[in-house]
């Protein structure tokens, strides 16, 4: 089992819809959870981070964490074509940050 | 402007010719790390450093060296590059426990 798992996609959604990206992790001791967006050939950029169970909202983005189920998700409301990118989930315990392989999101007009 | 600067952005070299990719950050971050990114394999950590003169192996350290003589710099050294080290490399830094800031990447091709 991979330590951080994501569906590689592509996830295709129409403009204006909600995109839901999911990530599961294996280490129950994980404490910090991050979502990065990466455009093709570019560096990852931080979108959201979450440390506690529940939801955290920032503009059109909502991160959801369920530690009991070892599950973290990212919701993108009112998806735009400019949101088309690969979204990387990253999970950290005290000394190690592990990335998933990413989910490619395509938002079509 | 707060940033992580990597150089060069693109590099084509031949097998066995030593090379260094530089990384510098101006945010006074303790933590610095090198990743390589390959299709289908995601970001894999090569080496990381928690502070000056402290470096540790990541998941794929073979064939690489690093040094951390100053807080701001964390160069990646390939003593004898091989074609399987052809990849996209990222340097990143952060305060301990905080999100990573990534450099713009170095695309390395070894022929």
- pLDDT exceeds 80 at position A95: no
Question: How far apart are the CA of A99 and the nearest CA of chain B, in angstroms?
Answer: 6
- SS3 sequence, chain B? CCCEEEECCEEEECCCCCEEEEEEECCCCCEEEEEEEECCCEEEEEEEEEECCEEEECCCCCCCEECCCCCCECCEEECCCCHHHCEEEEEEEECCCCCCEECCCEEEEEC
pLDDT tens, position by position, A46-88: 999 999 999 999 999 999 999 999 999 999 999 999 999 999 9
Chain A residues near residue B101 by CB distance under 8 angstroms = 46
pLDDT tens, position by position, B38-63: 988 889 999 999 999 999 999 999 99
Note whether B42 contacts A32, CB cutoff 8 Å: no
pLDDT above 70: percentage of residues in chain B: 100
Between chain A and chain B, the number of residue pairs with CB atoms below 8 A apart is 38
């Amino acid at each position: 089992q991979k330590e951080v798992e994501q569906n590689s996609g592509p996830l295709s959604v129409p403009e204006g819809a909600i995109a839901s990206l999911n990530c599961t992790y294996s280490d129950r001791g994980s404490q910090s959870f991050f979502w990065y967006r990466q455009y093709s050939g570019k560096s990852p950029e931080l979108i959201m981070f979450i440390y506690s169970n529940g939801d955290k909202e920032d503009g059109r983005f909502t991160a959801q964490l369920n530690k009991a189920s070892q599950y973290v998700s990212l919701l993108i409301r009112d998806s735009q074509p400019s949101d088309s990118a690969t979204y990387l989930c990253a999970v950290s315990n005290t000394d190690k940050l592990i990335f998933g392989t990413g989910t490619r999101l395509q938002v079509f007009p | 402007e707060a940033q992580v600067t990597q150089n060069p952005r693109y590099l084509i070299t031949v097998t066995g010719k030593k090379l260094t990719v530089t990384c510098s950050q101006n945010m006074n971050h303790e933590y610095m790390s090198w990743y390589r990114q390959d299709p289908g394999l995601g970001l894999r950590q090569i080496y990381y450093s928690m502070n000056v003169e402290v470096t540790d192996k990541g998941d794929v350290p073979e064939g690489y060296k690093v040094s951390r003589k100053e807080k701001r710099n964390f160069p990646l050294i390939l003593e004898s590059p091989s074609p399987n080290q052809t990849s996209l490399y990222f340097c990143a830094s952060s305060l301990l426990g905080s999100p990573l800031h990534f450099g713009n990447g170095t695309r390395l091709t070894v022929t």
